[in-house]
A and B are shown apart, each in its own frame.
Chain A
Amino acid sequence: MANWTEQKAHIAEAELTLIKGGAGKPLLMLHDELGFPGWVKWNDELAAEHAFVIPLQPGFGKTPRLGWVRSFRDLAGLYSMAVREMGLDPVDVIAFSAGGFIAAEMVAADPKIFDHLILVGPMGLKPEKGEIWDIFPVTIRTHLRRTVADPGTAEFGNIYGGEMTPEQFEAFEDARAESARIGWEPYMHNPSLPYLLRGVKNVPTLLIRGSEDQIVPAGCIATYTKAIDGAKAVEMANVGHRPEIENSVEFVKIVQDFLKE
């Protein structure tokens, strides 16, 4: 298991909590709407060659909520500031689900901020077909189960198995509340984003989606590939919204190969 640490960084008026671990070229990771699930196998695999920088989203417990952040675009502005202040740009980024929404807003505003852009089951765009599944009118357990094709996946059980502790329940509710606050309407997408993404040129972009994803439909990937010049899409078979957990071996290989391009 690679070493990782929790650190603080003052960005704008925020005291951002960051997880850092690994060695090599920095890799910004933007976690999803349920919060950072912890350092797991795929992090370990990539940490041999990549130095993870993982901001914990404001309002999700560790980083205090910022009242002025009222949209994913605001949050993207904050993270862009953080990347610049830490001198990381241009940085490789891997972003999951709602984290993908943040990364897309960042690159739309400043295409030079990323060296490689990897979006995994990204929200943020209205799918050309289907809907992004509504995560708000369900309980946490229902939501969690829907993120994977097979709830029997060992690592899924390691992260979320057993009785939910009061601390876990509270952390999930924090994450849900903050996601609702900034993503309630329009639901987890920004209608102007596809237009702004058309200005993104020469940023190697990879879209990964599990074939059994029940949260983000294939229509989202189709919209992204149309919006971002040269974006490539990979579909991983037999996994859901958490391909990095359900098939970490294939996932890591896809990511490593892409980052070497």
Chain B
Amino acid sequence: MQISYFTERPYRGLNEDEILKNKAYFAVPNALFDREQAANDYNYYLDEYCYAEELGFDAVALNEHHGNPFCMGSVMNVEASILARITNKVRIVLIGNPLPVLKHPLRMAEELAEIDLISRGRLVTGWVRGAGSEQFFNNANPAYNREMFNEAHDFIVQAWTKPGPWRYEGKHFHYRHVNPWALPYQKPHPPMWIPGVLSPETARWCAEHRYPYLGLGTALGPTCDLWDFYADEAAKHGYQAGPENFGYLIPTFLAETEEKAQEIGKNFVFGGGQNAFSRPEHTLPPGYNSKGAIRMLAKHPGGSWLGVSPEKLRAHSDGGRPDTTDFDTVRQKLLKGYGKAQKNLQLLIGTPESVLPKAKTLLRVLRPSIFVFFNIQGPVGDEDRKTSMRLIAQELTPQLREYAKEIDLVDPFERTPGSVAYRNGVTRDPVVDREPLAALGMAG
């Protein structure tokens, strides 16, 4: 079992009203940026990752977003480079570099090789397509997002493994001289874990490449469906998927008392939380989603996997931007969502004692061998953040590790993903256990 620590590194100096007024984090004007606040936050988060190492987390996870105070990691490889040098034993997990958005896979291959070398082989690299808003921010053509993702990935693997120099003439990328001098420390290259929010296309691609898929706090029932889909695809490629193929990220906040945890935990919906990452028009750039996804949105616009509800889409379709919404009413709605998310086990809030059975249920149902704790959002102070980390590491994790052993959650370092052969004609082994879902009031 790989227990990982993750934070979005939220900018902690922003008045919530500014986010609510903008109806999203993305596109909050940077006139509100304060350099001292940002400098403090950046330095603190690096220290916090070191603290995660001290506490015994197996890995620290980073991501990146652009033009967004929701996440300060706008160039994740910079932070990963620093961590490569100032940490000693944690794995550095990138979930992940947005390949189509960055548009320079050779440079990416070089940067990651350096991180892997400096850390002496502690890099786990992941790839993402980049959120819809990143396409606008980076002027990346959304209609080519999937193609560029695939081509960049294939190119990077080649750049790391095929002796140079060679020439590359692809569809979207072209290089005259591919011969990166710095190659990864790990051979043939660092492991890859792929985060996602339930896109079947991504799950199919992961299964094909035998890469672990990490669900990012996704709803339990649909996540089970996707795990099954992955496992079916894996069987087509001749292997039996298992816990080594799956990871799950769960927003978690612990405190010494239930009351304190519940109060501070509300910061997961600060400004609207991840549902307010960007407005619908920035979430759905033209051509970004597959035809199938668009068809599903057209017929069932409540599909949470696109992060857009029909009400939200309608409200934002009227051309309105800032309005005179009563922010207190908005906050009340957000708090309702906060309660619901806890009930659905998409948020773990409480003391180690109250959270343990819920975390165990997640492990039992989804059987992930990579479990990533996502620390609190919003302007929460250093001490409260660290207390939560300590309680997770010292009081929750040991029991989860025991339980993981008990139910045989073998991780990707113990068993190579895709290494268990699947025999044609035999029913594949289950990868999820839906039995507890009924008790939670969720469809099995």
CA distance A137 to B313 in the complex (A): 13
A145 interface residue (CB < 8 Å to B) = yes
A211 to chain B, nearest CB (A): 21
User: Is A142 a contact of B281 with CB atoms below 8 Å?
Assistant: yes
Contacts of A170 in B (CB 8 A): 294-295, 298
| Chain A contacts with B in 171-208, Cβ cutoff 8 A | 173, 176-181, 184-185
Main secondary structure of the interface of A (DSSP, over half): helix
CA distance A180 to B298 in the complex (A): 19
Q: B141 touches which one: A137, A145, A181 (CB < 8 A)?
A: A181
User: Is A179 a contact of B286 with CB atoms below 8 Å?
Assistant: yes
A7 interface residue (CB < 8 Å to B) = no
Q: B143 touches which one: A138, A167, A169, A180 (CB < 8 A)?
A: A180
B136 interface residue (CB < 8 Å to A) = yes
Q: Which 6 A-B pairs have the closest CB atoms?
A: A177-B287, A176-B286, A181-B143, A141-B317, A166-B298, A180-B286
Contact mask B132-149 → A, CB, 8 Å, 1/0?
A: 000010010111100000
Can you pick out 23 interface pairs between chain A and chain B where the beta carbons lie within 8 Å of each other? A136-B136, A136-B286, A137-B282, A138-B281, A139-B280, A139-B317, A141-B317, A141-B318, A141-B319, A166-B295, A169-B297, A170-B294, A173-B286, A173-B294, A173-B298, A176-B287, A177-B143, A177-B287, A180-B143, A180-B285, A181-B287, A184-B139, A185-B141
* A-B interface contact total, Cβ < 8 Å: 64
A252 interface residue (CB < 8 Å to B) = no
User: Is B317 a contact of A140 with CB atoms below 8 Å?
Assistant: yes
User: Is B298 a contact of A169 with CB atoms below 8 Å?
Assistant: yes
Contacts of B281 in A (CB 8 A): 137-139, 142
A33 to chain B, nearest CB (A): 10
B336 interface residue (CB < 8 Å to A) = no
B293 to chain A, nearest CB (A): 10
Contacts of B313 in A (CB 8 A): 139
User: Is B294 a contact of A137 with CB atoms below 8 Å?
Assistant: no
CA distance A59 to B141 in the complex (A): 16
B316 interface residue (CB < 8 Å to A) = yes
User: Is B144 a contact of A137 with CB atoms below 8 Å?
Assistant: no
User: Is B285 a contact of A136 with CB atoms below 8 Å?
Assistant: yes
A146 interface residue (CB < 8 Å to B) = yes
- B301 and chain A: residue at smallest CB distance: A169
B299 interface residue (CB < 8 Å to A) = yes
- B287 and chain A: residue at smallest CB distance: A177
User: Is B286 a contact of A142 with CB atoms below 8 Å?
Assistant: no
Q: B142 touches which one: A140, A167, A180 (CB < 8 A)?
A: A180
CA distance A113 to B294 in the complex (A): 38
CA distance A178 to B144 in the complex (A): 10
- B300 and chain A: residue at smallest CB distance: A166
A136 to chain B, nearest CB (A): 6
Contacts of B143 in A (CB 8 A): 177-178, 180-181, 184
Contact mask B143-174 → A, CB, 8 Å, 1/0?
A: 11000000000000000000000000000000
Contact mask A229-259 → B, CB, 8 Å, 1/0?
A: 0000000000000000000000000000000
Contact status of A146 and B287, CB under 8 A, knowing A166-B298, A169-B298, A180-B143: no
User: Is A185 a contact of B317 with CB atoms below 8 Å?
Assistant: no
Most buried by A among B281, B282, B284, B295: B281
User: Is B286 a contact of A146 with CB atoms below 8 Å?
Assistant: no
